[in-house]
Chains A and B, each alone.
Chain A
Amino acid sequence: NAGVTQTPKFRVLKTGQSMTLLCAQDMNHEYMYWYRQDPGMGLRLIHYSVGEGTTAKGEVPDGYNVSRLKKQNFLLGLESAAPSQTSVYFCASSYSGRDYNEQFFGPGTRLTVL
């Protein structure tokens, strides 16, 4: 049981390049989330999904796109990277239900945009 995994762990991009971050979970969770973490700003929600085939915008969605084609995977895309997107990106998943539940986080992806 791997829990939540993220690939890659590190990446350096040049301004204007594109990339996709992959998040996978093997806990059969319905809800998945993408956050970015910057010093002094906590975790900010980029996009989230409440089930396969669904996505929704979070607090800071601009410059990112997501897809949830399979229940276990949640992809985060950067079409044209900017230095402001330098950050640590965390994916999380949680069991859905009438009540909220614990979010399980992946190990993070450290992205640097030059």
Chain B
Amino acid sequence: GENVEQHPSTLSVQEGDSAVIKCTYSDSASNYFPWYKQELGKRPQLIIDIRSNVGEKKDQRIAVTLNKTAKHFSLHITETQPEDSAVYFCAAPNTGNQFYFGTGTSLTVIP
């Protein structure tokens, strides 16, 4: 089965600094890598995703990079703001339609 590892588990940054969260996966057939943001007491919501045919994708202050050879992908948030404080989850599918999520990163942006 798939195994998705996510680091770090907690991350504190000063407002305006960048934040980077990394995930590794084990199933070389995985071809879709989403990132979800979950605010306290709320449901997870997709913030960005990347497919295996590209190495990087950007959406304003958020970017995701993918290294298929090394089997890892990363979330980059630039110019962090207090509203970026949340728990972030990465995920990867296996060949059987199942999604495996990382254990989450609690990001705190200090004003």
Contacts and interface: CB of A to CB of B under 8 A. Distances in A.
Interface string A87-114: 0001000000001101101111000000
Interface string B34-48: 100000001111100
A45 B103 CA distance: 13
A33 B99 contact: yes
Looking at chain A's contact residues, the main secondary structure is: loop
A103 B32 CA distance: 12
Contacts of A41: 103
A53 B31 CA distance: 27
Given A58-B98, A59-B98, A43 B32 contact: no
Given A48-B97, A48-B98, A59-B98, A43 B51 contact: no
A8 B104 CA distance: 25
Interface in B88-104: 89, 91, 93, 96-104
- Bin chain A's interface residue count: 20 to 34
A45 B98 CA distance: 8
A31 interface: yes
A33 B36 CA distance: 16
B64 to A, nearest CB: 14
A40 B9 CA distance: 8
A42 B102 contact: yes
Contacts of A35: 101
B12 to A, nearest CB: 18
B97 A50 contact: yes
Contact of B43 (A33, A102, A108): A108
Nearest to A105: B43
Interface in B53-111: 89, 91, 93, 96-104
A42 B89 contact: yes
Interface of B: 1, 6, 9, 31-32, 34, 42-46, 49, 51, 89, 91, 93, 96-104
Given A48-B97, A100-B32, A102-B46, 4 more contacts: A43-B101, A45-B100, A50-B97, A102-B34
In the A-B complex, the 3 residue pairs with the closest CB atoms: A100-B32, A105-B43, A43-B101
